[in-house]
Amino acid sequence: MYRYRVPVSIKEVAAHAGVSVATVSNVLNRPDVVAEATRERVNASIQELGFVRNESARQLRAGRSRMIGLVVLDVANPFFTDLARGVEDEASKAGLAVILCNSDDQESKEARYLELLEEHRVQGVLITPGAGAGARLEALRRRGVPAVLVDRRSDSDDQCSVSVDDVRGGDLAVSHLLAGGHQRIAYVSGPSAVRQVADRREGALRALDRAGRAAGELRVIEASGLNVAAGQRAGATVAGTSADARPTAVFCANDLIALGVLQELTRSRIRVPEDVALVGYDDIDFAAAAAVPLTSVRQPRQDLGRTAARLLLEEAAADAGHEPAAGVHEHSQVVFQPELVTRESTLGPHSQGGW
Ligand code: RIB
């Protein structure tokens, strides 16, 4: 049976190693100022006694924990787990842990998580914000907790953000389909309240306009979510359209939707790309591994995470007056460019003609 033991104190370690408490504290926090022999003796005592530093006490003294918060829309979407991997890489280099929060794009959940992260004295917050987050993030900053928008460009230059040019991404996707001779193109959108989704649609319309086509020629199917199930339902809508009116190409707001559409078209015996070409967005690993490898607009997911974390840690260090950015931090809005990755789901002749 587990028997609770009173934690070993720093005083016990000092007595065991024959040094002062200050020397033990230096070994833990500034080992470079302690002679190697003394450092080894103290570490041996720490190991032998099973000493574990008291993070709560340290946090009370320092005022900040050794954690950062990451609030994303949907942890089930590999886009965000890849992004979180980039955040964690950067945070762990700085000796920090990451608290991952899932807002489900729900304002109440997002607000609760922001309160929780502040209560835990995080160094700062990375967030893919839902509607209305702006005021909460501004209040957080006023209380000394910096925030960086990730996967969303900031509307103002006094807020750091890291994003991808999603308008260009939508343009790349539909330009590729137009170049393939497709006349009847559909965009399976997610909830249009999600800024990334709206930007991709804007890019799709820009590509049509450049080709001299009217905006009304883009058939928009608004999926109920940004996930596979929503894609399956959208796929059923496409499959249910008579062949002579059915889109010959479908651009989806993200890869999860595209995988759902692919599944439903295949179940309905509609061939991809011969009958319907398909383009996704994000280029998650499952895109290349799909039954018909998916053409997708690639987002640099881990780079987004690494860059956002770096900006946040710079701002937190500046706010705390720590090197290297003591007192000086220039807010920046980093925008990455998307890249079209073509695969089998759009290559080769399609069986249907134009409108
Ligand atoms: O969160 C929904 C989508 O927006 C993700 O798939 C990713 O594309 C993000 O930009």
**261 touches 268 (CB < 8 A):** no
Model pLDDT for residues 91-118, shown as the tens digit of each residue: 999 999 999 999 998 999 999 999 999 9
Instruction: Give residues with Cβ within 8 angstroms of 47, minimum separation 6.
Output: none
Check pocket membership of 296 for ligand 1, CB cut-off 6 A: no
Mutate which of 104, 226, 297 for ligand 1 pocket (most atoms within 8 A of beta carbon): 226
Model pLDDT for residues 299-312, shown as the tens digit of each residue: 999 999 999 999 99
Could you give the domains of the chain?
10-53 (1.10.260), 65-164+301-338 (3.40.50.2300), 166-298+340-346 (3.40.50.2300)
* Helix (H) / strand (E) containing 222: strand 218-222
Please give the number of the atom of ligand 1 that sits closest to the Cα of 254: 6
pLDDT, position 351:
53
pLDDT, position 354:
37
Q: How far apart are CA 165 and CA 69, in angstroms?
A: 24
Q: How far apart are CA 170 and CA 8, in angstroms?
A: 58
pTM value is 0.84
Please give the number of the atom of ligand 1 that sits closest to the Cα of 72: 1
> Confidence band (pLDDT; 50, 70, 90) for 319?
confident
| Count of CB atoms situated within 10 Å of the CB of 179 | 11
Burial class (CB in 10 A: 0-12, 13-18, 19+), 6: exposed
- Whose C-alpha lies nearest to ligand 1, atom 4? 196
Two tokens at 86? Answer: 């980039």
Mutate which of 189, 282, 296, 304 for ligand 1 pocket (most atoms within 8 A of beta carbon): 282
Instruction: Give residues with Cβ within 8 angstroms of 101, minimum separation 6.
Output: 69, 70, 71, 72, 113, 116, 117
Q: Which of 148, 136, 149, 138 is nearest to 110 (CA)?
A: 136
- Whose C-alpha lies nearest to ligand 1, atom 6? 254
Mutate which of 105, 222, 254 for ligand 1 pocket (most atoms within 8 A of beta carbon): 254
Higher local confidence (pLDDT), 53 or 1: 53
Res 349 pLDDT > 80: no
Q: How far apart are CA 88 and CA 68, in angstroms?
A: 10
pLDDT, position 58:
66
- CA of 352 relative to ligand 1 center, distance in Å: 31
Model pLDDT for residues 254-276, shown as the tens digit of each residue: 999 999 999 999 999 999 999 99
